[in-house]
Amino acid sequence: MTKRLLAPLLLSLMLVACGGGETPATPDAAPAPAAPAEATAPVADEPADTAAPAVDGSEAPAAEATEGAPAPAAADPAADEAAIAAATQAAAQGPALVPGTDYVEIPGGQPFAPLNGQVEVVEVFAYSCGHCAAFDPLVGAWKKRLPSDVRFTMLPAAFSDQDNFGPAFFAAEANGVIDRVHTPLFNAMHIERSLRPNASADEIIAVMAKHGANAAQLKGTIDSFAVKAQIARTRQFMARSGIDATPTVIVNGKYRVRGRTLEDILRITDQLIVRERAATQAGGSL
């Protein structure tokens, strides 16, 4: 039975840098050396200008697991639900959002896909990111509560052309198996340690095949024009949204969420969703 990942429920825990196939670094740090590194950036005294401290754009692969990141634990669905309930209550009862502290408004920001009357929430993640792995079960429970006019989209970070996880994600999505293999890829990286951030496409596909995906179909799709187009769109979205770290949440292409904990990210996102839904219902411009 596939193990699930449980997000840590320590509200006092600040996020550290997570990589999307790159070596983590602080926002102002020099590029990391090309060799794989085990260490991550130290926790910042103040939150960075994203949902987590920035990751540099170097081509170096990250370590097997982010040192200092919250360690995945055994599954506890009740705890997941309790965490989501707490985040929902915090969004309803918490203080008004503060621009620059809780979120950054993106100049000229655009959604990833046409809104069509919906509120778009995008999470940019990386399988090599320990905090993304911890965030995954929280997001899985949270998105089930979203109203029908809210569209949630996951995008694999496209920091490096050498990262094979992004193409593998879109290939699995195109073949209708991403829900089946998404969490197992996190498990393979952070629990089983059977995948490294610089894993080859064949190694990633082999893990997906163990969980019911058709390896031949994935191999026939991963280098397709459609997958390459999705990677290009993701890279463009990340550039115009100012994304240089994972996990990062963007609401309607307009707001980049900042948060000092995983639950804080959800609280802020919930409040921005309420704001954007109200604007839509009032006929306002998104």
Residue 206 included in any domain? yes
Alpha-carbon dihedral sign for residues 6, 7, 12, 17 = positive
127 and 165 Cβ atoms separated by less than 8 Å: yes
| 133: number of Cβ within 10 Å | 30
Fill in the amino acid letter for 7: A
Do residues 147 and 140 lie in contact, with contact meaning Cβ atoms separated by under 8 Å?
A: no
* Domain assignment of residue 212, yes or no: yes
**CB 22 within 8 Å of CB 58:** yes
Residue 274, pLDDT score = 94
The encoded tokens of residue 211 equal 């969980």
Q: What is the pLDDT of residue 281?
A: 79
Read off the amino acid at residue 94.
Answer: G
Q: Is residue 63 part of a domain?
A: no
Is residue 122 within 8 Å of residue 155, measured between CB atoms?
yes
- Segments of the chain with pLDDT less than 50: 1-17, 19-74, 285-286
**pTM to 2 decimal places:** 0.72
What pLDDT score does 222 carry?
Answer: 98
Q: Find the domain containing 219 and state its range.
A: 77-281
**Does residue 142 fall inside a structural domain?**
yes
Report DSSP state, residue 13: P
Helix (H, G, I), strand (E, B) or coil at 118: coil
Please check whether residue 60 lies inside any domain of the structure: no
pLDDT at 95: 80
DSSP state of 253: T
Strand pairing of 255-257 and 248-251?
antiparallel
Residue (of 118, 93, 107) closest to 273 by Cα position:
118
d(CA 11, CA 141) in angstroms, rounded, equals 18
> Which CATH number belongs to the domain containing residue 106 in this structure?
3.40.30.10
- Asked if 255 contacts 106 with a C-beta cutoff of 8 angstroms, the reply is yes
pLDDT on residue 33: 31
Q: Total structural domains in the chain?
A: 1
- Indicate the Cα dihedral angle 244, 247, 249, 250, nearest 10°: 20
Residue labelled with tokens 């740090």? 29
Residue 51 lies in a domain: no
Please calculate the CA angle 145-146-147 and round it to the nearest 5 degrees. 120
pLDDT, tens digit, for every residue of 133-159?
999 999 999 999 999 999 999 999 999
Question: How far is the C-alpha of 175 from the C-alpha of 187, rounded, in Å?
Answer: 21
Nearest to 7 by CA among 259, 270, 235, 210: 259
